[in-house]
Amino acid sequence: MKMGMGYTVISRLRTLARYTIAYACITHCTFEYVGDFVLCKGPSMEPTLFSDNVLLTERLSKYWRKYQSGDIIIAVSPINASQFICKRIVAVSGEKITTLKPHPLEAESASKQPSEMTMVTDYVPHGCVWIEGDNKGNSSDSRYYGPIPLGLIRSRVVCRIWPLSELTGL
């Protein structure tokens, strides 16, 4: 009798392990290839997005539509590959960009003096986008590091889902 009970427990554990692995694979593929949830941190997108907002993002539309000016995206930071950034696309490949461009961050930290702003006009190169935070005074973006390659873009923000009182499409 005890032998039969041990076999039943092992059989159930094997079934549980099989379902766990299957669901883990489905979850991984969904978050990696379809979309996921992102927790915002930092003031660079205020007043559109605030710290601790939770966003729903998608990764599928890049296959049937191009990124457009106005899209809010999640991308790998071009200055710190272990960090993700949330910014708005201001211009896409071939578009003209005119912006106040501060000195690079390295020069600013080396001189310890306030940076001077200069007006710069340029075109966004093929395969790149120009991104900026909505909070221009407190955002490290393309004005500092230039246009970013499309390959750094992880996903496009669809809507804010938290807090529920601010549920809205973006």
Q: Annotated catalytic, 87?
A: yes
How far is C-alpha 120 from the geometric centre of its chain's CA atoms?
26
Measure the CA–CA gap between 37 and 158, rounded to whole angstroms.
Answer: 10
Distances (CA, A) of 128 to 1, 73, 114, 124, 147: 68, 13, 29, 6, 6
Element (H, E) at 20: helix 2-29
Q: Which residue has the tokens 């907002």?
A: 53
Please, are residues 71 and 63 in contact by the beta-carbon 8 Å criterion?
no
Measure the CA–CA gap between 97 and 130, rounded to whole angstroms.
Answer: 8
Task: Please give the backbone phi and psi of residue 15, each rounded to the nearest 5 degrees, phi first.
Answer: -65, -45
Point out the catalytic residue in the list 87, 101, 139, 140.
87
Point out the catalytic residue in the list 11, 41, 44, 62.
44
Distances (CA, A) of 120 to 38, 90, 101, 123, 155: 33, 15, 6, 10, 28
Please, are residues 93 and 128 in contact by the beta-carbon 8 Å criterion?
yes
Q: Annotated catalytic, 2?
A: no
For the annotated catalytic residues, the residue numbers are: 44, 87
